[in-house]
Amino acid sequence: MATHTVLQITDLHLKTPRAATMLGINTEAFFLQTLRHALDAHPRCDLLLLTGDLAQDPCQEVYLRIRQHLEKTGLPCLCLPGNHDDFELMQQNLSGGQIVCERTFQLGAWSIIVLHSQQADSQTGTLAQAELQFLRETLEHNAHRPTLIAVHHHCIATGSPWMDSMQIDNSAAFLQLLAEYPQVKLVTCGHVHQEFARKFGTISLFGTPSSCFQFAPQSHQYALDNLPPGYRLFSLVDDGTFATECRRVPLDMRDLDPKAPGY
Ligand SMILES: [Fe+2]
């Protein structure tokens, strides 16, 4: 049975100029080391899935730099926007060749559906009525394909109230819709900068560490964790089963400034 390897890398938060740091670390250097670590460990990767907050400073220069880095991998890359991104600039400067910002992607028997959850001038997620309609229609047309949903914001509480105030504000409607379609196997998100796994009925819900700094789990207020960057590996089997795990990249976190505001 064919198995497809997907590497999810998320929340790169690249800045301009290239040497700029965020919370004490150079996010571009961390992204590159995360990418290298992931590809060294999984050279037969079928898809790189980048789930938002690719840019902290969304501008042409940043997206072109990300494009250069991704092009060097020679791998298909599926990119979606987070609350810090500018989707129009992503389409203009990042998309092209093997790098796509599409809403659907087929990988063997699997269907990947990309949802956009960002809303203007807000860090909180939402799924507009048009997104839910697109989701329903796509699920109707792909009833026999096991499905992975990729979206930037989380749709279930992580246990950190400050973070959960930013989750998809109509998560209940979203999850109820998914529950109508048994082909939906899992939802994976960025945004939370930490590893988590929950279940909603038969559907698995995952959060993935950032390629730069991490947020402390189960924290009432904003707080950083000193765990190193990470990424998530998915092995998607054509019979609809899957396996997943997070991997950490052994990077030196001594420069992380836990007192700095500004996320
Ligand atoms: Fe982020």
What are the structural domain ranges in the chain? 3-248
109 CA to centre of ligand 1 in angstroms? 30
Residue type, 1: M
Joined together, the tokens standing for residue 250 give 């052994």
State the pLDDT at residue 189.
Answer: 98
Concatenate the DSSP letters of all residues of 175-244 into one string: HHHHHT-TTEEEEEE-SS-S-EEEEETTEEEEE---SS-EEPTT-SS--EE-PPPEEEEEEEETTS-EEE
Please give the CATH number for the structural domain made up of 3-248. 3.60.21.10
DSSP-derived secondary structure letter, 77? E
238 CA to centre of ligand 1 in angstroms? 31
Distance of alpha carbon 59 from the chain centroid: 19
State the pLDDT at residue 59.
Answer: 98
State the pLDDT at residue 153.
Answer: 98
4 CA to centre of ligand 1 in angstroms? 26
191 CA to centre of ligand 1 in angstroms? 4
State the pLDDT at residue 262.
Answer: 62
213 CA to centre of ligand 1 in angstroms? 9
55 CA to centre of ligand 1 in angstroms? 9
Averages of pLDDT over runs of 10 residues in the chain (263 residues) are 97 96 96 98 96 98 98 98 97 98 98 97 96 98 98 98 97 98 98 98 98 96 96 98 98 89 66
54 CA to centre of ligand 1 in angstroms? 8
51 CA to centre of ligand 1 in angstroms? 9
140 CA to centre of ligand 1 in angstroms? 31
53 CA to centre of ligand 1 in angstroms? 5
87 CA to centre of ligand 1 in angstroms? 15
State the pLDDT at residue 263.
Answer: 67
The neighbour count for residue 94, using CB atoms within 10 Å, is 26
85 CA to centre of ligand 1 in angstroms? 10
State the pLDDT at residue 260.
Answer: 76
The neighbour count for residue 221, using CB atoms within 10 Å, is 9
144 CA to centre of ligand 1 in angstroms? 33
State the pLDDT at residue 105.
Answer: 98
Q: Tokens 């949802």 appear where?
A: 115
